[in-house]
Structure 1
């Protein structure tokens, strides 16, 4: 590894670590502590300095790339201002500055930092340094306790566990021990999600991902050799996007089928339908105050309007242009990976698309690290069989 390569990788990873940490803090009870402002004022300048330094002084940018970058950042700036969500701008810089970075190092960083942060947060919550918010609900006549373990809501704690499982499956080596570790990790995270956080969606998604992963490894190892099938996989992401929009827009409680789906999704269709009826879909974003339960133990009030679907949040909060642009970007990433017969990524894009119908973490790099595959490289030769 050359010094130049090493330097640009280290600089980028320092910025990435600070960004992941900053995002993680936003979803933890640390955000309500007295030291949070100092932490953020420390982390943010490091993020910006590292990313800009790599883009301006290390990367060589062609005119075509420069035009794309300016368009990308321009859209991000406008949408950030209009929606009030500043992470969109930082995310765009993270993607642009990931050029020529080995994604394996990015993934390894993710698999070290996120579990470490999650474990520290868990310990602090058990030591009563930060609250372990506990939510209660009755299901099938039994009282269920939902622990958040220092996060602002139990489903966020569970989401991190789920994406640690997914990340490990993409990182692991091609040997039996890695697969055994993957299965054990999946089972452990499943039980924590289901029985400690009572986050059923995340728990069932872990099981679903196990089946998808090994199904893809059995039947789609050489998917890049089949042009028609490869082309079809590119449309997985927009297909799920359109599906949740259609189901939400057409939701009617008098329809037994739609009401069954709504009940299975814990009322998500009803809330999404209400949001689509209440707000227009903007061109370049609008600020919407989605009221949820995170950060405090409270009953669901009349003002509760939280839309869990990332896809619908994209449309309602960030607008049509951003939604189309981000969808095209994920389609390009999928096309690049499938051309390499990356059946592991095929499993990831399926579960990521499915989860984005019912969860709000698509935009969050501390969970969904795969946006960075747009410019980072990872095994850019045809994937070897396990």
Structure 2
């Protein structure tokens, strides 16, 4: 994460990793109960440091044609307008992180995220054990769900999942026996102490797809079919999430059964579509969840109870909050990236992104870099993940 090289010169990699490390560290930290102690809109202070670093890297080190500069600037204007209409200015930082990742080693990005993520996660968990911040405990159907210093139990479980995904990228998909045991322990832990059933299933799916990747490396041709299916994972996930929510009705038994299995996510998605129409440049979407200190007080009845309304689906969240342009651009970008990777015999990242695509049906972390760093792979250098021609 050093900005200067050993010769003292400022480097593109140093600028980008410094900016990413600062932003990622803050964003991860802000998902914890420490966020209550941060000043209001502290994210703007962080962006005031991060954005100049990213802009310097992009302008001074990345070489584009005039046409490419026009596309990048047009994208920035559209993103800035969307950030304004949605009230989510953090979108500007995410856009510049994606653009700035050009020619950056995604392996280096993943290593930076893993190092900072594990250190921050450990700090948060230890702080909750020492009662420096609260471990929010939610009672559901006789089972306590622990947040361990994160603002909600499922957010804790999602951190575990996405750190495992990042670890798999750093390890190039080559899990040793102790990595398998660690992953299975993580699945058991979030099931037992967070009652996060869906994230447990997603960890198991990750292990299955890593097994598929092992078969691909060994030359088992049928396994390649799974990698090609992963190309459309994000589009399929979006279609399922939005489509099922749109057509949901409690009168349709199989949809109501699925809604119950998904903890009423279809019902809440239908309610979101009833309240908000998709806009080109997004809109302010107001939700009331049970996460954080205020949400926990509402959950326990210590404050006047507000109506619970939270959109867990990333696809619906992005569509309604950030609008059609951002949503379509993301789907096209992810699909193009996965198709390019598979054609280059870089199979691992499409398989890992397929896990995030499934996760985004039941969580809201598609554009949340503190969880999902894989959005930064779209323009990054991924050649280190390529298999030999003989593979």
Q: Above 0.5 in TM-score?
A: yes
Alignment of 1:154 onto 2:158: no
State the 1:378 CA deviation: 1.8
Kindly tell me: are residues 154 and 229 of structure 1, through their superposed partners in 2, closer, same or farther at Cα, counting changes over 3 Å? closer
| In 1, Cα distance between equivalents of 2:385 and 2:181 | 30
SS of the counterpart of 2:176?
Answer: helix
Aligned to 2:239: 242
Aligned to 1:113: 116
Aligned to 1:289: 286
| In 1, Cα distance between equivalents of 2:45 and 2:306 | 38
Aligned to 1:77: 80
Residue deviations 1:191-239 (CA, integer Å, cap 9, x gap) = 2211122211111210122112212432587799999987764322111
Q: Is the 8 A contact 1:225 1:341 kept in 2?
A: no
Aligned to 2:377: 373
Q: Where do 5+ consecutive residues of structure 1 fail to align? A: none
| In 2, Cα distance between equivalents of 1:224 and 1:8 | 39
Aligned to 2:308: 304
| In 2, Cα distance between equivalents of 1:285 and 1:39 | 23
Residue deviations 1:290-330 (CA, integer Å, cap 9, x gap) = 11111132328552110100000111111111111111111
Q: Is the 8 A contact 1:18 1:44 kept in 2?
A: no
| In 1, Cα distance between equivalents of 2:339 and 2:49 | 33
Counterpart among 3, 13, 19 of residue 15 in structure 1: 19
Q: Is the 8 A contact 2:347 2:386 kept in 1?
A: no
| In 2, Cα distance between equivalents of 1:20 and 1:349 | 19
Q: Is the 8 A contact 2:312 2:362 kept in 1?
A: yes
| In 1, Cα distance between equivalents of 2:81 and 2:275 | 23
State the 1:57 CA deviation: 1.7
State the 1:167 CA deviation: 1.2
Q: What is the number of residues matched between the two proteins?
A: 379
Kindly tell me: are residues 173 and 276 of structure 1, through their superposed partners in 2, closer, same or farther at Cα, counting changes over 3 Å? closer
SS of the counterpart of 1:170?
Answer: helix
Q: Is the 8 A contact 1:340 1:381 kept in 2?
A: no
| In 2, Cα distance between equivalents of 1:211 and 1:98 | 29
| In 1, Cα distance between equivalents of 2:178 and 2:383 | 22
SS of the counterpart of 1:281?
Answer: coil
Aligned to 1:47: 50
Equivalence map 1:334-353=2 (5 Å): 334-353=338-357
TM-score (ref. length: structure 1) = 0.90
State the 1:179 CA deviation: 2.5
| In 2, Cα distance between equivalents of 1:146 and 1:381 | 37
Q: Is the 8 A contact 1:217 1:343 kept in 2?
A: no
Root-mean-square deviation over aligned CA pairs: 2.8
Q: Is the 8 A contact 1:16 1:47 kept in 2?
A: yes
| In 2, Cα distance between equivalents of 1:214 and 1:76 | 38
| In 2, Cα distance between equivalents of 1:204 and 1:152 | 21
Q: Where do 5+ consecutive residues of structure 2 fail to align? A: none
Alignment of 1:129 onto 2:126: no
| In 2, Cα distance between equivalents of 1:105 and 1:164 | 15
State the 1:82 CA deviation: 0.5
SS of the counterpart of 2:11?
Answer: helix
| In 2, Cα distance between equivalents of 1:241 and 1:61 | 32
State the 1:5 CA deviation: 9.3
| In 2, Cα distance between equivalents of 1:217 and 1:148 | 34
Kindly tell me: are residues 251 and 5 of structure 1, through their superposed partners in 2, closer, same or farther at Cα, counting changes over 3 Å? farther
Larger mean CA deviation between 275-284 and 263-272 belongs to: 275-284
Larger mean CA deviation between 363-372 and 213-222 belongs to: 213-222
Aligned to 2:211: 214
Larger mean CA deviation between 11-20 and 326-335 belongs to: 326-335
Q: Is the 8 A contact 2:24 2:370 kept in 1?
A: yes
State the 1:368 CA deviation: 0.9
